[in-house]
A and B are shown apart, each in its own frame.
Chain A
Amino acid sequence: MDADGLNDALGLSNDKPQNLGSYIYQPPKHGKSAGERPSKRRKVSSTTGRDDQADQQRFVPLLNGDENAESVQLRYDTYQELWSKQENKIQNILEDVDSAVLADVLSFVRNTSPQTCDGCIPTALVTVGSNVSSLSRLLSRLNGQLISTEEGSVVVLESGDAPNLKTTLKNIIRAAVTNTDGNDGYQKFLTDRAGPRLLGYDLDLLHDYVQRKGTKKLVLALRDSEAFDPGLLTDLLSLFKSWLDRIPFTVLLGISTSVELFEGRLPRSCVALLQGKHFEVQEAGNCVDRIYETLQTDSGTNLWLGRNVTNTLFENTSDYFQSPEAFSRMVKYAYMSHFFANPLSVLLANPDSTVLAQNKLCEAVRNLPSFRMFCEDLVEEGSIKQIRDLLEDDEYLIQETPKYLDANQQRMRGMFQAVRVIYVCLEHTQSAKKTTVPDLSVRALSGELSESTIVEEMVAAAKTLDSDKLDELLVRLRGILISREADAIQEDLKTLLETCPESGPLRSGYNINSTVTRTTVVQQRIRLSKGQADLSEQAVEYTNIVDRLVALLQVYLTETLINPQDLFLHEAFLFDLRNPLKETFAPRPRFAIERALATPFDYLLSSSDATMTKVSAKQPATAILYQLYLDSGALVNVHDLWQAFYGVFETEEADGCDDRVVMSLFYGALSELKAFGVIKNSRKKTDHLAKSAWMGL
């Protein structure tokens, strides 16, 4: 075997610097190996050749590669358009959520000074809980505000920047200067000084800078205060204290646990240096709920997230303490997946018929499960002619499709309006547990909401509302529940209330106070009978109004709460694939590796007999060794393991195999298992390994 062949087999090549730590990539010279390109290479080059004109865009033609370039481009553009709209909404929400805390912190920074704090360092303690990302948002906005008004700036420090006092100070000074003047400014600042050159960690530098800039507030923010070494923090703070008369420090501490715990870690002398105020950032959960609500129920929405996706999103948020940003990134990824991989998503662009006039696209529409259901419904209605046209006439299909798409999108919007109606009603009727919009949405998306107990209970509770609360409810519903009847009900209620302004809130006949239980003794038995208490005239009228409202709600809800999976073309406007999202954001690498090693043919699609479940020499060496490893105990004798490994090869190769070759495979496999951390050397016996991982845990 010559060296070249060997290197080829190992995937090493002589001209590639695989042993360098880091290098700038240069493509290999193409001249020498043009002839011997492996087949897959050819495949790639042919695709790049084909979509030369599509090079500018990221999307790949779908429909087996037959999608035309225009449609591909449309998908991309629609994605950009839809997502940028949604992203703006998310951004607004995030800013809105932060704005209260930001205003508080900003006014604190402006109004406090060492003088107001009895000579201590003014300190803002910000507890963020699991909402880690909110602090950096807050800080960057604070920084922007302070710089724009030329009051000062914010220096953000992470625990990684602070290995020791010198480096920390140096980092602070550099960050402060580069924040406003950039890196060049820092270099200039260091060199262009009169007098002796100061060392990088000399606070005189910072003093100089503060004087030059006229900085009134220098906010030093420690993002992860708990991770700082307490000793270092003490030193740092006492240093600040002594410079406080020259440099206007304000310290901002980001705390993930609680102020008490943080304080407990610091020595008293250090705590005594600080004086300040405590701020709390809203938990991520509320924020995420709001984002979801806006994305889904907004009337401008064209693409919705289905039940599975919603479930995955909220699972991840609660399991991994995701920040709102991470949440919106996942939503973004869902949008990306939809437009990247679903050829029907082009329909969302409202394209003209020329784009749609692709044979394959019509075929794709006809293959949809929802198309089939739609046709079945048409059969029941008896419109055979229409079906025939849809199936056979491409033009008719192209003409009809956008209409149905629009109509069904409208119904989706209606459904989410209904979700909001229910949510608002629940806010007024439900007292104890709060049902969130995402909860309701999940039910609505699976088509279960209209029959759910939540709605039943809500309607029942709505019946018992007194007139004041009902009035409130109707006001809240005004923008959401749009129907003439609702307006009429409100009118009537208003006139009714005007006729009897003095009698206090009216109660409907369903209210528990207006039913009376009569107790009569009949033949020595107590008989309970319920009866309507005598209702005043207004009350009867009010009951009528309530009845009308309830009836309206019921009709409205049954009408709007459809099952989205039944809608024709829901594949185009409802993204409901659990998988790309789940695997992409919550991977299971250990499972993947265990699976690859335990059942390698799950991955290596064997062309011959695919049902090889047992250990055989046809499998990759590491997989064989891993399966032997799984069979072994906590302690493994290497010699025996080797014998068993060799046995696998010996039995299959009739003409006897070179045991040294097998040995080299054994070596490779052993070193890989070691790298995975599943075996280690055991000192209990000579030539024994200790097992350190078990499958399926």
Chain B
Amino acid sequence: MRKLSDTGDQPPVSTPKRKRTALEQSNGALNGHAPNAALPNDDSSYELPPSGLDQSTPKKANGVSATPLQQSGLKTPTQKSKARGLFATPTKAKSAIAATPSRVKNADRSARKKSARVLFEQDEDAAWDGSERLAEEILHGDGPDTEKVDQSLAESIEPKAGEEAPEKGAKQPKRRAGRPKGARNKRSPTPEGELPAHERYFFQNRAGPVKTSNATLNKVTLLTHEEYFEKLGQYVDPCKEEKEYLQSLHHRSFPQWAFEFDEGFNICLFGYGSKRKLMDEFAEWIYNHRLSDTTTPTIVMVNGYTPGISIRSIFATIVTAVMGDDAPSKLGAQPTEVLELLQSALKSHEEPVTVLINSIDAPPLRRAANQALLARLAATPRIRLLATADTPNFPVMWDISLRDQLNFVFHDCTTFLPFSAEADVVEEVNTLLGRKGRRVGGKDGVGFVLKSLPENARNLYRLLLTEFITLLDDGHQSDDEGAEGGGRAGDETGIEFRLLYQKATEEFVASSEMMFRTLLKEFHDHQMITSRMDASGMEILGVPLSRDEMEGVLEDLVLG
């Protein structure tokens, strides 16, 4: 883009291939002094069938390639370091190129300098990551600038600039013999034109070297549950009004939905964002809308995302809602039994029963057997089912016969609201990052669990921590050792099981070993303690927390 302004009305129609040939023609790599002059000359001399070349390449030079530049430039306008973080490649030359349009001139100059240096001090690394070739191009002139940005981007983020990236690898003749790793850069040739969807998938997914930096999150302190919620509370949503407006638009559909219910349809809401609030409001709307008829409508809410939710329990709730106190105390263990009970109960029930299911595609409900049962529920007369679905591919859960039974009408209800209840965000991210070990959540996690435990258990943990810290103090007098131990301290030292039990009985925390073990099991389940056998066969208990954290928890326990 900026190129156009640089060279005036000379359109940049060159491709890297031509460039390189030009380079070879001019018989040297370092003639970077008159780049602007060289380009048009070479082009005119080399471009034998201009129209033909134009047809094959123009979109690369001025159309497609310009867009990525613009986008990437805008994406990281002022923070060069950040841009480098994402799109970095080992050499400096490229990061300069990826700089902002506003600094283009300076960047150009420095890029040229650096390129010269790169070419001068060639090394193996540079040989296969393409920086050197890039450097040549920079030196050679402004012409393929846009192109180069693409390439540098394409190096690190291949599918985006997909059209350009492979061409470079495939068409380039090797400049020096014996570049052993050059082959790794080779990609399939650029596919022509609009690809059918499946081809695009394979193109985007093709094998090739994946270039990502080696940076890790080790230096970044990850969020704990507590901090996550605290910090999220401080965030001011810039789209609050728009989201509320969107919500109000969905509100207007309530009478329509009710009409659809009346006509025997079930409803499925999809789209991005949590629809829980909308469901609550719809339930309230139904409730208020029907108050004129003396009878209260029966509405059952189901949260499909609840871990461990069972279809049977859903059916049982509906049975209770329908039959009230007449519900038999024993419903039967199989969901089908409960469903049949429900169906027979509904035969004598006049009022329709509205069942609102949040996240029908959540993992606990996703199984085919569960969906089949829900479909049978949906097909039951007088049952009105409103389900929300959050994932993009939820319709694959249902085959035609289920679809027939479900009898859904679908509405796009994009809300943009966060999935705050549906997902345990910190937990999810930790698994995603492969940090399951953090499950306890450090100090806050332990504190969280302790809050929900009975007094006795808290006392035991307090006892455990007190003993533990005393032991640490006794065992390692020197400060530095304790500090250095940190998280490992818990693994090394430990309290003997017997000893702790004795203390516990003394403090009237546990009266029997059985009870003592029950309490410990709770800690075990939450990974708040570790246990191992030492050489003599004694059970040693430990705490997987750092000293600081232990003290923090202890403090909370004593004060709280």
State the A residues within 8 Å of B (CB): 1, 5-6, 9-12, 16, 18-25, 27-28, 38-40, 43-44, 48, 55-56, 58-60, 130, 132-133, 158, 160-161, 167, 171, 174-175, 178, 182-184, 224, 320-323, 325-326, 329, 332-333, 336, 340, 583-585, 587, 589-590, 592-594, 596-597, 600, 603-607, 614-615, 617-620, 622, 628, 630-644, 646-648, 650-651, 658, 660-661, 663-665, 667-668, 670-672, 674-681, 683-689, 693-694, 696-697
Q: List 18 A-B contacts (CB under 8 A).
A: A19-B421, A21-B306, A21-B313, A22-B318, A24-B300, A25-B283, A158-B372, A326-B403, A326-B407, A587-B410, A600-B416, A632-B159, A637-B212, A671-B429, A671-B432, A681-B433, A684-B210, A688-B212
- 3 pairs of A and B residues whose beta carbons are closest in the complex: A647-B82, A604-B242, A25-B299
> Judging by beta carbons under 8 Å apart, are B75 and A27 in contact?
no
Interface residues on B, range: 35 or more
Bound form: Cα–Cα A640–B79 in Å: 13
Chain A min CB distance to B498 (Å): 39
Given contacts A11-B418, A675-B390, whether A664 and B244 have CB atoms under 8 Å apart is: no
> Judging by beta carbons under 8 Å apart, are B262 and A58 in contact?
yes
Bound form: Cα–Cα A11–B267 in Å: 23
Q: Which B residues are CB-close (under 8 A) to A660?
A: 223, 227, 231
Q: Which B residues are CB-close (under 8 A) to A583?
A: 410, 412
Q: Is B185's CB within 8 Å of the partner chain A?
A: no
> Judging by beta carbons under 8 Å apart, are B414 and A603 in contact?
yes
Q: Is B502's CB within 8 Å of the partner chain A?
A: no
> Judging by beta carbons under 8 Å apart, are B390 and A25 in contact?
no
Q: Is B516's CB within 8 Å of the partner chain A?
A: no
- 10 additional A-B residue pairs with CB within 8 Å, beyond A640-B88, A650-B79: A22-B313, A25-B283, A55-B289, A615-B74, A634-B205, A639-B215, A643-B215, A664-B229, A665-B232, A675-B422
Bound form: Cα–Cα A158–B231 in Å: 51
Chain A min CB distance to B316 (Å): 8
Q: Which A residues are CB-close (under 8 A) to B317?
A: 22-24
Bound form: Cα–Cα A632–B68 in Å: 12
Q: Which A residues are CB-close (under 8 A) to B146?
A: none
Q: Which B residues are CB-close (under 8 A) to A589?
A: 270-271, 389, 391-395, 410, 412
Q: Is B233's CB within 8 Å of the partner chain A?
A: yes
> Judging by beta carbons under 8 Å apart, are B251 and A43 in contact?
yes
> Judging by beta carbons under 8 Å apart, are A632 and B160 in contact?
yes
State the B residues within 8 Å of A (CB): 71-72, 74-79, 82-83, 85-86, 88, 156-160, 197-198, 200-201, 204-205, 210-217, 220, 223, 227-235, 237-239, 241-248, 251, 254-256, 258-260, 262-263, 265, 268, 270-274, 276-277, 280, 283-285, 287-289, 292, 298-303, 306, 308-310, 313-314, 317-318, 320-321, 334, 336-337, 340-341, 344-345, 356, 369, 372-373, 376, 389-395, 400-401, 403-404, 407, 409-412, 414, 416-426, 428-429, 431-434
> Judging by beta carbons under 8 Å apart, are A585 and B239 in contact?
no
Chain B min CB distance to A245 (Å): 29
> Judging by beta carbons under 8 Å apart, are A336 and B393 in contact?
no
Q: Which B residues are CB-close (under 8 A) to A19?
A: 303, 306, 421
Chain B min CB distance to A257 (Å): 14
Chain B min CB distance to A278 (Å): 21
B223: contacting residue among A132, A604, A664, CB under 8 A: A664
Q: Which A residues are CB-close (under 8 A) to B255?
A: 58-60
> Judging by beta carbons under 8 Å apart, are A644 and B301 in contact?
no
Q: Which B residues are CB-close (under 8 A) to A56?
A: 292
Q: Which B residues are CB-close (under 8 A) to A606?
A: 239, 242
B303: contacting residue among A22, A631, A639, CB under 8 A: A22
Q: Which B residues are CB-close (under 8 A) to A619?
A: 238-239
B340: contacting residue among A25, A58, A174, A596, CB under 8 A: A174
Chain A min CB distance to B215 (Å): 4
Chain A min CB distance to B75 (Å): 5
Q: Which A residues are CB-close (under 8 A) to B300?
A: 22-25
> Judging by beta carbons under 8 Å apart, are B244 and A38 in contact?
yes
> Judging by beta carbons under 8 Å apart, are A183 and B341 in contact?
yes
> Judging by beta carbons under 8 Å apart, are B272 and A23 in contact?
no
Given contacts A18-B276, A24-B321, whether A686 and B395 have CB atoms under 8 Å apart is: no
> Judging by beta carbons under 8 Å apart, are A667 and B223 in contact?
yes
A-B pair count, CB < 8 Å, reads 380
Q: Which A residues are CB-close (under 8 A) to B233?
A: 1, 5-6, 9
Chain A min CB distance to B402 (Å): 10
Q: Which B residues are CB-close (under 8 A) to A183?
A: 340-341, 344-345
User: Which residue, of B160, B285, B411, B416, has the highest number of chain A Cβ atoms within 10 A?
Assistant: B416
Closest A residue, CB atoms, query B74: A614
> Judging by beta carbons under 8 Å apart, are A336 and B260 in contact?
yes
Q: Which A residues are CB-close (under 8 A) to B251?
A: 40, 43-44
> Judging by beta carbons under 8 Å apart, are B200 and A664 in contact?
no
> Judging by beta carbons under 8 Å apart, are B416 and A596 in contact?
yes
> Judging by beta carbons under 8 Å apart, are B231 and A668 in contact?
no
Q: Which A residues are CB-close (under 8 A) to B83?
A: 644, 647
> Judging by beta carbons under 8 Å apart, are B411 and A584 in contact?
yes
Bound form: Cα–Cα A678–B204 in Å: 14
Chain B min CB distance to A231 (Å): 18
Q: Which B residues are CB-close (under 8 A) to A322?
A: 400
> Judging by beta carbons under 8 Å apart, are B259 and A651 in contact?
no
Given contacts A18-B421, A48-B289, whether A639 and B85 have CB atoms under 8 Å apart is: yes
> Judging by beta carbons under 8 Å apart, are B412 and A640 in contact?
no
Q: Which B residues are CB-close (under 8 A) to A593?
A: 270-272, 392, 414
> Judging by beta carbons under 8 Å apart, are B340 and A178 in contact?
yes
Bound form: Cα–Cα A586–B231 in Å: 41
Q: Which B residues are CB-close (under 8 A) to A648?
A: 75
Q: Which A residues are CB-close (under 8 A) to B198?
A: 697
> Judging by beta carbons under 8 Å apart, are A160 and B373 in contact?
yes
> Judging by beta carbons under 8 Å apart, are A651 and B337 in contact?
no
Chain A min CB distance to B83 (Å): 7
> Judging by beta carbons under 8 Å apart, are A11 and B313 in contact?
no
B344: contacting residue among A18, A55, A158, A182, CB under 8 A: A182
Bound form: Cα–Cα A58–B188 in Å: 60
Q: Which A residues are CB-close (under 8 A) to B420?
A: 10-12
User: Which residue, of A40, A664, A676, A679, has the highest number of chain B Cβ atoms within 10 A?
Assistant: A664
A584: contacting residue among B197, B228, B409, CB under 8 A: B409
Closest A residue, CB atoms, query B250: A40
Bound form: Cα–Cα A630–B392 in Å: 16
Bound form: Cα–Cα A687–B429 in Å: 11
Q: Which B residues are CB-close (under 8 A) to A333?
A: 265, 409
Bound form: Cα–Cα A533–B239 in Å: 85
> Judging by beta carbons under 8 Å apart, are A9 and B232 in contact?
yes
Bound form: Cα–Cα A323–B421 in Å: 38
Chain B min CB distance to A584 (Å): 5
Bound form: Cα–Cα A21–B365 in Å: 11
> Judging by beta carbons under 8 Å apart, are B407 and A646 in contact?
no
A607: contacting residue among B210, B241, B407, B409, CB under 8 A: B241
Given contacts A25-B287, A688-B212, whether A677 and B391 have CB atoms under 8 Å apart is: yes
Bound form: Cα–Cα A133–B401 in Å: 7
Bound form: Cα–Cα A628–B82 in Å: 13
> Judging by beta carbons under 8 Å apart, are A675 and B72 in contact?
no
Closest B residue, CB atoms, query A615: B75
Bound form: Cα–Cα A329–B421 in Å: 35
> Judging by beta carbons under 8 Å apart, are A585 and B271 in contact?
no
> Judging by beta carbons under 8 Å apart, are B244 and A696 in contact?
no
A631: contacting residue among B72, B299, B416, CB under 8 A: B72
Bound form: Cα–Cα A642–B320 in Å: 48
> Judging by beta carbons under 8 Å apart, are A22 and B314 in contact?
yes
Q: Which B residues are CB-close (under 8 A) to A671?
A: 419, 423-425, 428-429, 432
Q: Which B residues are CB-close (under 8 A) to A23?
A: 300-301, 317
Q: Which B residues are CB-close (under 8 A) to A605?
A: 242, 245-246
Closest B residue, CB atoms, query A40: B248
Closest A residue, CB atoms, query B256: A340
Bound form: Cα–Cα A619–B237 in Å: 9
Chain B min CB distance to A304 (Å): 20
Bound form: Cα–Cα A27–B321 in Å: 15
Bound form: Cα–Cα A110–B318 in Å: 40
Chain A min CB distance to B81 (Å): 8
